[in-house]
Amino acid sequence: MAISEKAVVNATLMAIEEINQKGGLLGKKIVPIVVDGKSDLDVFAKEAERLITQEKVSVIFGCWTSASRKTVKPIFEKQNHLLFYPIQYEGLESSPNIVYTGAAPNQQIIPATKWALDNLGKKFFIVGSDYVFPRVASAIMSDLIKQLGGEVVGDEYVLLGAKEVKHIIDKIKIAKPDVILNNINGDTNIEFFRQLRLSGISHQQIPTISFSIAEDELRSLEVSQMVGDYTAWNYFQSIDSENNRAFVANYKRKYGTQSVTDDPIEAGYISVYLWSKAVQKAGTFDVTKVRKNLANQSFIAPGGLVYIDETNQHIWKTVRIGQFKADGQVEIVWSSIKPVKPLPYPKSRKKEEWDKFLVTLYDRWNGNWANSGELNTPTK
Partner 1 sequence: MIFKFIHSQPISIQLLFMFLAIEFPAEIVLVYVSYYNAENILSKELNDKLQTTYERQSRQITDYFDNQINHINILVQIPDFIRLSRETIQDRTIASDQKPFDPIIKQSFIQYQESFKLANLMIVSSDRRIVFSTDFGMNIDFSQINSENDEIRQLIDRSSIMLQTEFSDFIFIKGRNYPTAFVATPIQEESGRFLGILIAEINNASITSIVNDYTGLGQTGESIILSQIEGKIVSTTSTRFRSLSEDEFSLDASKPLPVDEALQGRFGSGFYTDYRGREVFAYWNYIPALRSALIVKVDKSEAFASIQNLRYILLLIVLATLGIVVLAAFSAANLFSDPIQKLTLAARRLSEGNLDERIILPQRNEIGLLKDTFNQMAENLQKSQKELQNYNIILEQKVKERTHELQKAYNEITLINQEVVLQKNNLESANVQLNNTLEELQSTQSHLVESEKMAMLGQLVAGIAHEINTPMGAIRSSVSNIIINLDSIIHQLPEFFSRLNATEKELFLQLMEIASQKDMSISAREERKYRRELQNQLEETGISNAMDIAEKLVEMGIYENMENYNALYVSSLQKEIFHKAHTLSGIIRSANTINLASDKASKIVFALKNYARKSYSGEMEEHSITQGIDTVLTIYHNMMKHSVEIFKDFEFVEPILCYSDELNQVWTNIIHNALQAMEYKGVIEISVKKVEEKVLISFKDSGKGIPQQIQGEIFKPFFTTKPMGEGSGLGLDIVKKIIDKHQGKIYFKSEVSIGTTFFIELPIVSQMNTTPIMS
Please, which residue, 84 or 365, has the CB nearer to partner 1? 84
Through-space distance between the first and last CA atoms of the chain, rounded to whole angstroms: 24
Interface with partner 1 in residues 170-209 (CB under 8 A) = none
Segment interacting with partner 1, rule: CB under 8 A, options 7-15, 221-229, 323-331, 343-351: 343-351
336 binds partner 1 (CB under 8 A): yes
Binding residue for partner 1 (CB under 8 A) from 87, 141, 319, 358? 319
Please, which residue, 62 or 303, has the CB nearer to partner 1? 303
Q: Do residues 132 and 189 make contact, with C-beta atoms less than 8 angstroms apart?
A: no
339 binds partner 1 (CB under 8 A): yes
Segment interacting with partner 1, rule: CB under 8 A, options 121-129, 174-182, 184-192, 341-349: 341-349
Q: Please name which of 281, 247, 242 lies closest in space to residue 262, comparing C-alpha atoms.
A: 247
The set of long-range contacts for 48-51, using a CB threshold of 8 Å and a minimum separation of 24, is 48/72, 48/75, 48/76, 48/83, 49/75, 49/79
Question: Rounded to 5 degrees, what angle do the CA atoms 130, 136, 140 make?
Answer: 135
149 binds partner 1 (CB under 8 A): yes
Please, which residue, 89 or 192, has the CB nearer to partner 1? 89
Cite the beta strand spans of the chain per DSSP E: 60-61, 83-85, 98-100, 123-129, 151-158, 179-183, 208-210, 230-233, 298-301, 304-308, 315-316, 320-324, 330-335
343 binds partner 1 (CB under 8 A): yes
Interface with partner 1 in residues 110-129 (CB under 8 A) = 110-111, 114-115, 118
146 binds partner 1 (CB under 8 A): yes
Q: Do residues 298 and 308 make contact, with C-beta atoms less than 8 angstroms apart?
A: yes
User: What would the x/- binding string for partner 1 be over residues 288 to 307, using CB under 8 A?
Assistant: --------x-xxx----xxx
In the three-class reduction of DSSP (H, G, I as helix; E, B as strand; rest coil), residue 123 is classed as: strand
Residue 165 CA: distances (Å) to CA of 157, 162, 170, 192, 286: 9, 8, 9, 6, 49
Q: Do residues 1 and 39 make contact, with C-beta atoms less than 8 angstroms apart?
A: yes
In the three-class reduction of DSSP (H, G, I as helix; E, B as strand; rest coil), residue 138 is classed as: helix
# residues near partner 1 by CB under 8 A: 32
CB 239, min distance to partner 1, A:
17
Please, which residue, 104 or 226, has the CB nearer to partner 1? 104
CB 340, min distance to partner 1, A:
6
Separation of alpha carbons 202 and 208, rounded Å: 10
Size of the chain, expressed as the number of residues it contains? 380
Please, which residue, 97 or 106, has the CB nearer to partner 1? 106
CB 296, min distance to partner 1, A:
6
Residues 6+ apart with CB under 8 A from 64: 1, 4, 5, 8, 37, 87, 264
Please, which residue, 323 or 368, has the CB nearer to partner 1? 323
User: What would the x/- binding string for partner 1 be over residues 356 to 375, using CB under 8 A?
Assistant: --------------------
Binding residue for partner 1 (CB under 8 A) from 9, 151, 316, 357? 316
CB 89, min distance to partner 1, A:
18
Please, which residue, 130 or 309, has the CB nearer to partner 1? 309
Separation of alpha carbons 89 and 109, rounded Å: 9
- Kindly report the backbone phi and psi dihedral angles of residue 17, in degrees, each rounded to the nearest multiple of 5, phi listed first: -65, -40
Q: Please name which of 15, 30, 29, 22 lies closest in space to residue 250, comparing C-alpha atoms.
A: 15
CB 316, min distance to partner 1, A:
5
CB 142, min distance to partner 1, A:
12
Binding residue for partner 1 (CB under 8 A) from 338, 351, 356, 364? 338
Residues that bind partner 1 (CB under 8 A): 106, 110-111, 114-115, 118, 143-144, 146-149, 296, 298-300, 305-307, 309, 316, 319, 334, 336-341, 343, 347-348
